[in-house]
Structure 1
Amino acid sequence: MDTQDLAARIAAGERRALARGITLVESGRADHRVQATEVLAALPRDRQALRIGLSGTPGVGKSTFIEAFGMHLLKAGMRVAVLAVDPSSARSGGSILGDKTRMDRLSREANAFIRPSPSQTHLGGVARRTREAVALCEGAGFDVVLIETVGVGQSETAVAQMADLFLLLLAPAGGDELQGVKRGIMEMADMILINKADGDLKPAATRTCADYAGALRLLRKRPQDPDGFPKAMMVSALTEQGLEAGWADMQALVDWRREAGFFDGTRAAQAQYWFEQDVRAALLSRLETGAAKQAMKTLGAQVAEGALDPSIAAARMLDVLGADFGAPWVDPVPDSP
């Protein structure tokens, strides 16, 4: 594969090349990982999209909201990319990858790109390589990248570590003010959107919005939030009510963070976070090769037989890993005198 040619075609905005690039970064093959790194390194560095993460429980209407919101952004003259993460089966490992079928209008637009991806074994509501897929979409010149997580609970907040804005979608009558005070995903959200605020559900949506607005006032104020944020508001993906006001609030929040210096600082912290995650993932992969794999099998069998305590076996496994790494790492760039 000519990685430089692929990177050039992605930078030119070719959707087919972008899809191929995402397939490349999602691959677990060692040679594909090398090629993916080359493609990412060759992309333009001066392009920056607004990254918006969206999370919520299954059935809250994330895909329907994304289509309506994406169409609103397209009308404003923007190019929109959607990365939809689909849950993988714990038994078969397969995924339906059907989120795109819910966005038939958006999928037909020339300035929109929709890519469903399996979560595989990665926890946190996103796929392991979603962050790299976001970088590819930025390199392709998209203005907004929407990251739709799998249907998640209160503790899956990984998407907040790759997004500039984190939106939490809730359904009407989804809980009272006590539910809103609970820590976890609630305190990570920049905006809480009560979806399906139309028809017979509108009164329930109004009560739910009031409950969560009150709960947000009880949370400790974050330094990266201006007055009035985080906030709760009602939207309807069906009637498209609240989309314009919601987008205006998102822009106001991003503009304030840029002026206050939080925007770039947050991105730098996110980059460091994913560096550490990649190192951890690489270390775990060492357990599947060479002497470490055999040691895991042997020690695991001894633990299963009751001949060895799990904590003792873990300590011995760490000794094996230490020997496997060999000499300690030395910084190739010594400190200046």
Structure 2
Amino acid sequence: MSSSKKQSGSLQEKPGISQPEITNVAAINQIKKNRRQQPSSAELITGILAGNRTALSRAITLAESTNPEHAEKANEVITGCLPHANKSIRIGITGVPGVGKSTFIEAFGTFLTQLGKKVAVLAVDPSSSLSHGSILGDKTRMEELVKDENAFIRPSASGDTLGGVARKTREAIILCEAAGFDTIIIETVGVGQSETAVHSMVDFFLLLKISGAGDELQGIKRGIMEMADAIVINKADGDNIKKANQAKLEFNRALHLFPQKKSNWQPKVTTCSAITGEGISAIWETISSYVDTMTASGYFQEKRKEQNHFWMMETINEQLKLNFFTQPEIISQLEQNKKAVQNDEISPFAAAQLLLNIYAKIQK
């Protein structure tokens, strides 16, 4: 080969052959033409009432959005679905991290779908206080239930509101009920005030515990015990069965120290294994017995009316707070007052009153 000839690499472009277009204009135009516009409120309502999962998911996303335009549309959808709601049993499930909530819910939900129930699981994943992100891993953990055609799993990030359970979860319940789900399960993040919020929107409140981890003493707390309608000692399998039965006795003794519930219901304590399925059917029997008893006494509907009133007041508080902090005058003055409070130039109470006075003038 002559040294005057240039060496050609295998990747060298041959003369006369141009590079292909990176984008296909005709394809892009076709995609734009076929791209479906966002469905209207009426279309979402029709889809939800027909049991369309996509419509239901879109409506829940609207309800979770902080965009004011989305909020208006979400309210229209919820209002349209409300007459078709309130026909389910709402079950709240809580427990400390590691108690096996997701595993239990999958076993319990599968049991219910086998009975012909339609189960919706509203699972709240804790958000990071640093990155504000959330893994949303419940669909991964409930890999069998997620494939069940009679089940719907919706994980949501907790954000910074009351342990992740607030008005938006309440709205998601209404939407799921309108879509035909007759059993709604709400899984809390298992920390702080989330239990109180869940208790205010469910018919039956189930507390999951485990034995053999110092959990018996830790679990006997007045607030959470008073809210529970049933306590289930999970992971009662293998070598842990004896410990689970001992924990059951301890919790039974503790429950008799508390005053009678307003409903006159005596909370039950039982054991189960989400792995083997042992004890799952007994839990459903307890819940069914509770619903029958409370319905007969009239307490079931009375409690739901109280919850509706509670959430009306909570929504008013939330909207007032949102309106307050989005006022330009408040935003401007807030930073100044913040620095003054941090430098001990003014008390937090006086600073707050100054801001409230500004807000009062804006509203006039």
Q: TM-score range by the shorter chain?
A: over 0.9
Q: Is the 8 A contact 2:82 2:174 kept in 1?
A: no
| Correspondence for 1:113 among 152, 156, 167 | 152
- Pick aligned residue for 2:280 from 243, 257, 270: 243
1:119 touches 1:127 (CA, 8 Å); kept in 2? no
Residue 158 of structure 1, CA deviation = 0.9
Partner of 1:331: none
Larger radius of gyration: 2
SS at match of 1:129: helix
Determine the C-alpha separation between the residues in 1 that align with 2:73 and 2:59: 10
Structure 1 residues 66-75 or 297-306, which shifts more? 297-306
1:279 corresponds to 2:316: yes
Residues 154 and 198 of structure 1, relative CA distance in 2, 3 Å threshold: farther
Match of 1:97 in 2: 136
**Superposed counterparts of 1:111-260, under 5 Å:** 111-153=150-192, 156-175=195-214, 179-226=218-265, 229-260=266-297
**Identity across matched positions, percent:** 46
Equivalent position of 1:266 in the other structure:
303
Q: Cα 1:119–1:24, aligned 2, differ >3 Å: closer, same or farther?
A: same
Q: How many angstroms does 1:279 deviate by?
A: 1.2
Q: Report SS of the residue matched to 1:43.
A: helix
Q: Offset of 1:288 from its aligned partner?
A: 2.9
Deviates more, 1:112-121 or 1:293-302: 293-302
Question: Partner of 1:330 in structure 2?
Answer: none
Correspondence 1:51 to 2:90: yes
Task: Give distance in 1, aligned partners of 2:142 and 2:287.
Answer: 22
Tell me how far apart the structure 2 counterparts of residues 44 and 312 of structure 1 sit (CA, whole Å): 43
What CA distance in whole angstroms lies between the structure 1 residues aligned with 2:242 and 2:131?
A: 42
Q: What letter matches 2:351 in structure 1?
A: A
Moved over 4 A (4+): 174-181
**After the TM superposition, which residues 311-330 of structure 1 pair with which residues of structure 2 at under 5 Å, given as runs?**
311-326=349-364
Instruction: Name structure 1 gaps, 5 residues minimum.
Output: 327-337
Deviates more, 1:85-94 or 1:309-318: 309-318
Q: Tell me the amino acid that sits aligned with residue 305 of structure 2.
A: A
Q: How much does 1:295 deviate?
A: 2.0
TM-score, normalization by structure 1 = 0.92
Q: Hey, what does 2:30 align to over in structure 1?
A: none
TM-score under structure 2 normalisation? Answer: 0.85
Q: Which of residues 325, 331, 337 in structure 2 aligns to 1:293?
A: 331
Separation in 1, partners of 2:57, 2:333: 39
Output the CA distance in 2 between the equivalents of 1:11 and 1:68: 27
Aligned partner of 1:38 in structure 2 is 76
Q: Distance in 2 between matches of 1:107 and 1:257?
A: 31
CA contact (8 A) 2:209 2:219 kept: no
Aligned length, in residue pairs: 324
Amino acid at match of 2:90: R
The aligned residue for residue 74 of structure 1 is 113
* TM-aligned CA distance change 1:28 to 1:268, over 3 Å: same
